[in-house]
Amino acid sequence: MGEEGLKLLSFWSSPYACRARLALDLKGLRYDLQEEDLFNAKSALLLESNPVHKKIPVLIHNGKAICESMNIVEYVDEVWPDRGTGFLLPRDDAFARATARFWADFFLSLTAASFKAAISSGEEKERANDEMIQDMVALERFLESQGGVFFSGSNTSMGFVDIAASFLPWWIPTYTEIGRLRVPGPDTCPLLHRWIAAVKDSPEAKPAFPDQQELLDFTKVRFEDVKKRFAQ
């Protein structure tokens, strides 16, 4: 068990698990990592800790289970507000917190559009790809309004929205390569590209995220399975 009685039930290529790991790493918290076998045999601990969805990530803190990636991020921020790089959700500003939660939710739309664009074909693919591009341009505008390198508004520390968005630097290139997608380049989204480089470079993100090539190889096989299931 980690120093704070923390254990994370995880899966290496899950962007949701990576969010939880990034939050724990930003706080400088040590934790045990339990890698789950999601496809063959979920552990008894996972099934009893998240009986509703049976999904990772689950953070277990002194025997209590916290489910859902962004819920874990908020929990960690509430319990250890001043640890590591500091608070993740803006303090003393309800409007800034509401705005951060709005943009954190917004990534569901981008994730869904990019996944759909990557696995579909024809008109459906083009529509989903257009939606993904629009979402990325919307993010560029939000980032511009924040005034820093990160969505937190800071030039040095990531916050709640950066963690929510953290799948983007690893998964968008993966989906783009596999699905031959169109993505807005640095001319259209310069701040988003600067943000991607800064996240990939951050010492806290590196250990939390998969190797790009391993992720690509794994995702290729997974997408083939998904396509076969859709074709049946």
Ligand X SMILES: N[C@@H](CCC(=O)N[C@@H](CS)C(=O)NCC(=O)O)C(=O)O
Binding residues for ligand X (CB under 6 A): 11, 14, 16, 38, 54-57, 68-69
CB of 22 to ligand X, least distance (A): 13
Of all residues in this chain, which one has the CB nearest to ligand X in the complex? 55
Q: With respect to ligand X, which residue has the nearer C-beta, 51 or 147?
A: 51
Answer for the pair 76, 29: CB distance below 8 angstroms, yes or no: yes
Specify the pairing of strand 58-61 against strand 6-10: antiparallel
Backbone phi, psi, residue 80, to 5°:
-125, 65
Q: With respect to ligand X, which residue has the nearer C-beta, 165 or 189?
A: 165
CB of 71 to ligand X, least distance (A): 8
**Exposure letters 11-48 (e unless 16+ CB within 10 A, then b):** bbbbbbbbbbbbbbbbbebebeebebeeeeebeeebee
Q: With respect to ligand X, which residue has the nearer C-beta, 40 or 62?
A: 40
CB of 74 to ligand X, least distance (A): 12
Specify the pairing of strand 64-67 against strand 6-10: unpaired
Q: With respect to ligand X, which residue has the nearer C-beta, 69 or 85?
A: 69
The one-letter code for the residue type at 199 is V
CB of 194 to ligand X, least distance (A): 26
